[in-house]
Amino acid sequence: MTDSDDHDEREVARICAEIGALGRCLPGSISARLLRCGNPKCRCRDAEVDRRHGPYRYWTRKVGGKTASRLLSAEQARRYQPWLDNDRRLRALTRELEALAIRAAERAEGWGEK
């Protein structure tokens, strides 16, 4: 085993340990939207000042290629934000694991060397 293999081995172990400690990983994101209602006389129609209703918080994600949204209360948004953060971290760690595996395969096989 080379020093590089040894170093990468430790990196893989570190990443797997971090993934193991992540907990719940919720895909998608939370966004806040200001909206106009259907009442033509409502203050939210004011052209001078932005008086739209909200913010309304939505959890959105892709389901079968389509965007799916759910309206969240402020409390729900606070509760689920850490789960969304975990999912983002999981994706970053997965990409790191893939990069390490590609490097290991290239080194083992002599690929990428001229």
Smallest distance, Å, CB 97 to Zn ion? 49
Minimal distance, residue 36 CB to Zn ion, in Å? 6
Contact residues for Zn ion, defined by CB under 5 A: 37, 42, 44
Residue 53's nearest CA partner among 45, 66, 40, 44 is: 44
Q: 74-109 vs 3-20: helix axis angle to the nearest 10?
A: 160
Least separation, in Å, of the C-beta of 56 and Zn ion? 12
Q: Least distance (Å) from Zn ion to the CB of residue 51?
A: 8
Output 43 or 79, the one with its CB closest to Zn ion.
43
Are 80 and 25 spatial neighbours (Cβ–Cβ below 8 Å)? no
- 55 vs 112, beta carbon nearer Zn ion: 55
Cβ distance to Zn ion smaller for residue 45 or 78: 45
Closer residue to Zn ion, CB minimum distance, 44 or 90: 44
In angstroms, the CA 87 to CA 83 distance is: 6
